[in-house]
Amino acid sequence: MLAFENAPPFAAPLRFFLTAPLFAVLAGLLVAFEGPDIFASRWTPGALAATHLITIGFMLQVMLGALIQILPVVAGANLKRPLAVARLVNVGLSAGALLLAAGFLSGIPALLGSAALILALTVLLFLTATIMALIGVPTTSPTIRGIKFALFSLAGVVGLGIVLALGLAYGWPLPLMALADLHAGWGLGGWAGVLLAAMAYVVVPMFQLTPGYPARSSWWFPVFMLLMLLLWSVALIADWPLLVRFGQLGAALAGIAFAGLTLRLQGKRRRARPDATYRYWQLGLTNSIFALFLLSTVAVWPAAADIDGWTLAFGVLLVAGGFLPFITGMLYKIVPFLSWMHLQNSGQAKVPAPAMNKILSEPEMHRQMLAYAVALALLLAAIFFPVWLARPAGLAFAIANGWLWWNIASAIRRYRLHLADIEAKLAVKLATS
């Protein structure tokens, strides 16, 4: 049961949704500026900077903003002073992502250390606020369980990230590559993957008119994913490489199972005409399955990771091809829906709100989605033909995400125009009643 009356002020999540695409634009411009060198390895300074501009600047921004909106509505967990929390977290994530990218590119230890400190404090503030809100909230649905498990994983991925940033800055004797893989596992599997699934249990049936997810698998998906990540972590500490690979394989297969199940449910949807959200999800699900197939293959046959382009293809497919389409597709539902809901409330049942397509139209979203699909195809091709395609791919990625920002900003501008119109009409009605 969703309690929309508990929703925080619109400005709380909105600042995250407007900031996030700008970081993806920066990442695209960085790829274009660095050119073919950025595709030489996942460990180049440019690749590390672009990756974190997307994972922190785009993904984490949207996900934390969405949680500030969703926690009171889905779980009845009301954050104290949500606007103040949102302002501090938004600024902290933005500053931390920029400093981290600058630290990777320049190699200056102080920048990496500052980024680690700011991101640690920012996530600590967010976790403190959300955990306090969740105290006493019973786990009555797979979505609430998934959110709780995802928050635990967020602490894990940020903790590992801080250790890695400080280790890189000050030359600590750490197994950086193995820890970076584990950091990515907790970030993409435990945090982003589990939270995505928890949200999918609500938004896919509601917005795409599919049947609901099976209860048993929904309850056990976050548990299984967490167990695999814990196994991977313990095996890494104990230096048991076979169990490390077993943990990776289990996490990859769980992700494939979730994606396959979602595709199956979408095949049974009651809405015949696909919209931009549906197409974005189809794109994300297909790419995720390919990416996780690559990961599971490496878990069984480690030498595959040495094949040219294998690791980069996995990263581009899972992040740019999987998570970003999921998130963008949800933004295209969440922003118009929240606008409509706040307009409806402003009208006080006396002045109706406009339809959601008056706030953000399907053709606008569809054209941007096509631009993103072209950018993604160029990014994947640039892995194998970097000299020819690296710069066009970066520019195309920047343009597609700049277009996303423009669409969201246009929706907010129309929301404000409709709000002013509704308030004026309401004042007339109240004065004449």
- Of 227, 226, 230, whose CA–CA distance to 191 is shortest? 226
What pLDDT shows up at residue 115?
Answer: 97
Low-confidence ranges of the chain (pLDDT < 50): none
CA distance 65 to 62: 5
What pLDDT shows up at residue 130?
Answer: 96
- The rounded radius of gyration (Å) of the Cα atoms in the chain is 21
Could you give the C-alpha distances from 425 to 4, 343, 398, in angstroms and in order?
A: 24, 12, 41
pLDDT tens per residue, range 240-261: 999 999 999 999 999 999 999 9
The token duo for 380 is: 């994947």
Task: Classify residue 80 by its DSSP letter.
Answer: S
Could you give the C-alpha distances from 411 to 112, 337, 360, in angstroms and in order?
A: 36, 11, 5
Q: Please spell the DSSP secondary structure of 372-406, one letter per residue.
A: HHHHHHHHHHHHHSHHHHHHHHHHHHHHHHHHHHH
What pLDDT shows up at residue 274?
Answer: 86
The token duo for 57 is: 């600047």
* Helices (runs of H) and strands (runs of E) counted in the chain: 15, 0
- Of 340, 402, 313, 337, whose CA–CA distance to 66 is shortest? 337
Return the number of other C-beta atoms located less than 10 Å from residue 137's C-beta. 15
Residues in the chain: 433
What pLDDT shows up at residue 429?
Answer: 84
pLDDT tens per residue, range 295-320: 999 999 999 988 989 999 999 999 99
What pLDDT shows up at residue 111?
Answer: 97
Which residues touch 149 (CB under 8 Å, ≥6 apart)? 190, 194, 222, 223, 225, 226
What pLDDT shows up at residue 56?
Answer: 98
CA distance 8 to 163: 34
Token pair 């139209």 is found at: 361
What pLDDT shows up at residue 1?
Answer: 60
Which residues touch 158 (CB under 8 Å, ≥6 apart)? 119, 120, 123
CA distance 334 to 327: 10
- Of 31, 92, 81, whose CA–CA distance to 57 is shortest? 92
